[in-house]
Amino acid sequence: MNKINSEIDEDEIFSVLAHPIRRRILSTIFEFGYITFTTMSKDWGISTGTLYHHLKSLKHITYQNENNQYLLNDKGREITAWFLKTDTGKVTVNKIDSFTMFMNPLLDIIEKHSKRSIIICLTIIITGFYFSHLSNIIIIGPIIIQNNAKYSIFINVLSLLFIIFSIHFVAYFSHRKTDYLINGLLISVTPVYLVIIILSLLSINILSIVWIVLSILLQTFYLSVNIAITIRNGSKIEQSIITHILILYMLLFFSFQYVS
């Protein structure tokens, strides 16, 4: 049977399947009947903090017995059987991995070193604001525009705040973890400001076509990080893609009104 019980929320399924560690925990319990914290920590080489995070995400479909072994409840068995044994479940997992596989190492760093990554990103972004202002460069999310705009620093700050507000808005109404999404956003735009800093310090002038290519690469990185982190946060793939593309190009449209 390729359909899962209609009483189980689709967002709940994506939240469970979005990370390979969670799938590994569930599939191991499904195969062997139980798993222990020691096995996951020592044999798999996963840190305690990371394990607690994933086990907390699975608490609604797993439970501990008197021997502190983790087992699946009825809902957990149904979800695990669905993604392991049905064609639809296998396709869903493959789709998730295709959008998150290359970003998983980076997203794991975000989870493990959340505060440190925020400090580093904010330092680079604030420094980038200064250099972009000196060079009269517009930065709209991951898009770089050479335009000698009079109020470039205003537009740059406004665009970043707009994206943060938009993601906060989406996270609030979809009941997602806002801080995790904001961390991902900051990391996704940091390379843009890093490029501006390096080019300014080295006094490098590059051709317009190079700016276009560079901007496309930065947009790709921005979308890849934010789509992957939204999927890992439990959103469906199509919803994640549409959300971030709309945010990016709505911002681009409105920001052009300020460019002189």
Contact indicator for 138, 156 with CB cutoff of 8 Å: yes
**8 confidence band (pLDDT: 50, 70, 90):** low
Q: What pLDDT is recorded for position 6?
A: 45
Percent share of the chain, pLDDT over 90: 12
Tell me the average pLDDT of the chain.
80
235 three-state secondary structure: coil
Q: Are residues 120 and 232 in the same domain?
A: yes
Q: Are residues 24 and 112 in the same domain?
A: no
Q: Are residues 143 and 210 in the same domain?
A: yes
d(CA 61, CA 73): 5
Domain assignment of residue 29, yes or no: yes
Q: Are residues 186 and 110 in the same domain?
A: yes
Q: Are residues 139 and 79 in the same domain?
A: no
Domain assignment of residue 91, yes or no: no
Find the mean pLDDT for residues 140-146: 77
Q: What is the pLDDT of residues 172-219, one digit of tens each?
A: 665 566 777 777 888 888 999 998 898 888 877 766 677 778 888 888
Q: What is the pLDDT of residues 81-129, one digit of tens each?
A: 988 888 888 888 888 888 777 777 777 777 777 778 888 988 999 898 8
Q: Are residues 66 and 161 in the same domain?
A: no
The number of distinct structural domains making up the chain is: 2
Domain termination site, one of 21, 56, 85: 85
d(CA 37, CA 48): 9
**134 confidence band (pLDDT: 50, 70, 90):** confident
Contact indicator for 97, 24 with CB cutoff of 8 Å: no
Q: Are residues 161 and 245 in the same domain?
A: yes
Task: Output helix, strand, coil percentages for the chain, rounded to the nearest 5.
Answer: 75, 5, 20
Question: Residue 137: in which H helix or E strand, if any?
Answer: strand 137-140
Q: How many CA atoms lie within 13 A of 136 on its CB side?
A: 7
Which own/partner pairs from 205-211 qualify as long-range (CB within 8 Å, at least 24 positions apart)?
A: 208/146, 211/144, 211/146
Q: Are residues 31 and 124 in the same domain?
A: no
d(CA 175, CA 235): 10
**How far does the chain reach from its first CA to its final CA, in angstroms?**
59
Contact indicator for 13, 79 with CB cutoff of 8 Å: yes
Domain termination site, one of 56, 85, 114: 85
Site of tokens 């300020």: 258
Q: Are residues 151 and 245 in the same domain?
A: yes
Strand 35-36: give its sheet, edge to edge. Answer: 35-36, 69-72, 62-64
**159 confidence band (pLDDT: 50, 70, 90):** confident
Q: Is 203 left (phi over 0), alpha (psi -120 to 50) or beta?
A: left
Q: Are residues 27 and 112 in the same domain?
A: no
User: Domain range spanning residue 65?
Assistant: 10-85
Residue 159, exposed/middle/buried by CB under 10 A (0-12, 13-18, 19+)? buried
**1 confidence band (pLDDT: 50, 70, 90):** very low
pTM assigned to the model: 0.73
Q: How many CA atoms lie within 13 A of 56 on its CB side?
A: 6
**147 confidence band (pLDDT: 50, 70, 90):** low
**35 confidence band (pLDDT: 50, 70, 90):** very high
Q: Which residues pair with 64 in a beta bridge?
A: 70
